[in-house]
Structure 1
Amino acid sequence: MIKIPEVLRNHAVAAGAESWLADLPMLVHHVEQQWDIAVGRPLAGATEAYVAEATTSAGQPVILKVLLPLSGRMGRHEVTALRLADGQGCVALLRDAPDLGALLLERLGPPLFALGVPIVRRHEILCDTAARMWRPAPDCGLPTGAIHPGPARSVGK
């Protein structure tokens, strides 16, 4: 039986996704069988998906991510962005099952904060990574700033 982190459980209940919570153990078991993986402990902090360590039958450490069904378009956007990035500047997408909201991702190392990297350096690393990933992707179906503009801002004189 899988352990569902309390923060994810609370978020799912607040969003009306109790049936997803009830079905999640069966869904994770199904994905384990389909992808020949063994799911381990869940990762803390996720609120929009069940995220857990896993290992392939070949011994490769991976991450299983099962999106809350409320994510809808956002989940599809995540898969599209990961496919476009192709592991450059972000985690690699190894497999996905859009109908199940399941993604199999490469497992990265510990987070920068856990390594004791100072916040200023973390921000530099994150900005450099975003700059490496940012590229035109016309007609890919992802939203742009032009579609959802933020609040108007005046530029300093």
Structure 2
Amino acid sequence: MATAPIEPPQRLVSSLSGDPESPVRRWLTALPTLVQQQLAAWELTLERVHAPGGRSSLVALVRQQDGTPAALKFPVPGRVSAHERAALEVWDGWGAVRLLRSDDTSGALLLERLRSGESLRSLPEAKAVLEAAGTVRRLWVEPPPGHPFETLAGGTEEAVEGLRTAGAVARSAGQLVEQAVELRRGLPAGSEERFLLHGAFRQGKVLAGARAPWLAVGPSPVVGERAYDLAALVLDRSEDLLAGSGAAAVARRRVAKLADSLEVDRDRLRDWTLYRAVDTGVREVAVGDRQRGEQLLEFAAWL
């Protein structure tokens, strides 16, 4: 068992509220103890905490009692983390990382070990898009009866309010924000599709594995139409388009190509892509990443 102090990665620390009385900050303070307790409860040996890691969880690389490698994940508490476990249970390793164990009290997830340093972003773009499309297609399954997942329609007002709040910081994007708000209000009612979606799918969320070449991780699951999931993939590597010529035409071709390859309506994919580009763009501006945010807003304007 590990006895060395456990330090949450700086990226995680920086992404959470600085208010020492906030629930997430109290969770962060208790996190080293939670990790040690879970290691003992599940008889795991700590190799190291994965760094730089993500902004919404701590992941520790561990060994199980029989020596099998695994990953111990502690998501930031909340609805999304609880639903991540439920989605992984539904997929049961089909297109996604396999959930080995979970703990209701701590929120810990024990996952099969993937090669965290090798995502689809390490591949040439054409190959990466092909592999990503094959992976996300496996995740689109019918949600089980009585599922806990939010629907795109059910989350409309919360999404619109969040977009308006973040958009107030990016004042120059006002027209795009209003267009995105209108789309977000109307799009869910225009489709009868009810698939379980990854919700945050992109090339960086697909890692190399031993059981399968590529497996998805880190879902923010939601139920709705496939175009919503695919929109995030359209936005992948948008910064690369800025370096080339004819970027607007290339962006529109990307929408058409992905829509056709996965039998998704082109117009709906374009609209969801515009919405997600604006939504993510203004949020990036709001948290201080103006360069990334403005890239996404420019992408939205091309559509």
Superposition TM-score tier, normalisation by shorter sequence: 0.7 to 0.9
Say if 2:8 and 2:32, in contact at 8 Å, map to a contact too: no
**Aligned with residue 142 of structure 1, among 116, 138, 149:** 149
1:113 shift after superposition: 4.8
Give a deviation string over 1:69-101, Cα, whole Å, max 9, x none.
2xx111111011000000110000000012211
User: What is aligned with 2:91?
Assistant: 85
Count of aligned pairs between the two proteins: 153
Q: What SS class does the counterpart of residue 143 from structure 1 fall into?
A: coil
Q: What SS class does the counterpart of residue 2 from structure 1 fall into?
A: coil
Q: Whose strand fraction is larger, Structure 1's or Structure 2's?
A: 1
Using the alignment, how far apart are the partners of 1:54 and 1:99 within structure 2?
20
TM-score normalized with structure 2 length: 0.47
1:35 shift after superposition: 0.6
Say if 1:12 and 1:68, in contact at 8 Å, map to a contact too: no
**Aligned with residue 103 of structure 1, among 106, 109, 113:** 109
1:67 shift after superposition: 1.5
Q: Which runs of 5+ in 2 are unaligned?
A: 157-182, 188-265, 269-303
Say if 1:39 and 1:64, in contact at 8 Å, map to a contact too: no
User: What is aligned with 1:28?
Assistant: 35
Say if 2:63 and 2:69, in contact at 8 Å, map to a contact too: yes
Using the alignment, how far apart are the partners of 1:148 and 1:63 within structure 2?
31
**Aligned with residue 57 of structure 2, among 16, 35, 49:** 49
1:12 shift after superposition: 2.6
Using the alignment, how far apart are the partners of 1:119 and 1:42 within structure 2?
30
**Aligned with residue 12 of structure 1, among 11, 16, 27:** 16
Give a deviation string over 1:92-144, Cα, whole Å, max 9, x none.
00000122111000001242357x31123222212211111111114211122
Say if 1:3 and 1:41, in contact at 8 Å, map to a contact too: no
Say if 2:53 and 2:59, in contact at 8 Å, map to a contact too: no
User: What is aligned with 2:69?
Assistant: 61
User: What is aligned with 2:45?
Assistant: 38
- The one-letter amino acid paired with 2:133 is C
Which consecutive segments of 4 or more residues in structure 1 shift more than 6 A? Answer: none
Give a deviation string over 1:3-48, Cα, whole Å, max 9, x none.
2211111123447333222211110011001111012222223111
